[in-house]
Amino acid sequence: MTEGSADGAAYVNPKAGAQIKAAQAAGLKVSLYHYAQYSGAQDAKNEADFFADTAAKYNLGTDTVVVADVEDSSLPDPYNDTVSFQSQLAARGFNNQVTYSMASWFWANKVPRNYPIWVANYGVNMPGVDNATAWQYTNNYNGQHVDMSYDFGGLFTGTSSSSTGGTNIDTGTPTTPTVTQNAVAQIKYVPGYGIALWNGYASSRSYAGRTLKHASRWKVLKQTQVDGHYWYNLGGNQWIEAQYTDHPNGFSSLS
């Protein structure tokens, strides 16, 4: 459950306390989001302090997932002010942070990617931003005007989104498969998170419904290069981007 607790530096959802208690009673993982309205570094720090104080008010620890909701068109400097906001939260002990915004803002580098990202992108078959931790794919699920997202890495739910098709390429456990071939790629990303597994590669790719964890190792069956970037095939039509592995420049054995 992701609860909207704070909006700017003055408003708290009046239902937050009851909703948090209900979620905890149901055994759900509670996370919080803050709708950013900051203007300048000091304002961003003030909002971070307000957010942290609000979390403490509801007895939520510093390990709680906290989301910076960065989408308001009035924000004068969303990138740098979000860095200031998140740095202040980190100073308060909150390091389980997420940045939420529209795909177009990530494309334009209007928001930072120093923490896992949650991308809003509707009417498409993939997030459109590489290595999204979560993807909000609609704001009108089943015609009920309800937002709905995929939680790829289990950050919000504790359970990763699973693939609904394709070939399972694991040769051991999901995070440490047994590897027997020479062409082996190890995922190099952010500890505790993973990279997207794709059906297809480059511009023809679509999300395969799962992520491969940082530090896991995978057999590479073949490779291809598009616009100077390598892609590795892990079986069937499932591919990963080489730039997020310990072999970003391809394998000579597969040339």
Query: What is the C-alpha to C-alpha distance for residues 41 and 90, in angstroms, rounded to an integer?
Result: 15
Tell whether the model's pLDDT for residue 168 goes beyond 70.
no
Give the CA distances from residue 12 to residues 34, 58, 116, in Å, rounded to whole numbers and listed in that order: 9, 12, 24
Average pLDDT of the residues of the chain = 83
Tell whether the model's pLDDT for residue 23 goes beyond 90.
no
Q: What is the pLDDT of residues 115-129, one digit of tens each?
A: 999 999 988 878 888
Instruction: Select from 114, 140, 115, 119 the least CA-distant residue to 130.
Output: 119
Mean pLDDT to the nearest integer, 17-31: 88
Mean pLDDT to the nearest integer, 136-154: 80
* DSSP H or E segment with residue 112: none
Tell whether the model's pLDDT for residue 11 goes beyond 80.
no
Query: What is the C-alpha to C-alpha distance for residues 234 and 94, in angstroms, rounded to an integer?
Result: 36
Tokens standing for residue 52: 């942290």
pTM: 0.64
Please give the distance of CA 61 from its chain centroid, rounded to a whole number. Answer: 21
Say if residue 123 is exposed, middle or buried (CB neighbours under 10 Å; 0-12, 13-18, 19+): exposed
Tell whether the model's pLDDT for residue 58 goes beyond 70.
yes
Query: What is the C-alpha to C-alpha distance for residues 242 and 170, in angstroms, rounded to an integer?
Result: 18
Q: What is the pLDDT of residues 227-246, one digit of tens each?
A: 999 999 988 888 999 999 99
The rounded percent of the chain whose pLDDT value lies above 90 is 45
Tell whether the model's pLDDT for residue 164 goes beyond 60.
no
Domains observed in the chain: 2-151 (3.20.20.80), 184-254 (2.30.30)
Tell whether the model's pLDDT for residue 161 goes beyond 70.
no
Instruction: Select from 83, 84, 126, 79 the least CA-distant residue to 106.
Output: 79
Q: Which comes out higher in pLDDT, residue 160 or 19?
A: 19
Query: What is the C-alpha to C-alpha distance for residues 71 and 204, in angstroms, rounded to an integer?
Result: 28
Q: State the pLDDT at residue 255.
A: 65
Crossing angle of helices 78-91 and 41-57, rounded to 10°: 40
Tell whether the model's pLDDT for residue 214 goes beyond 50.
yes
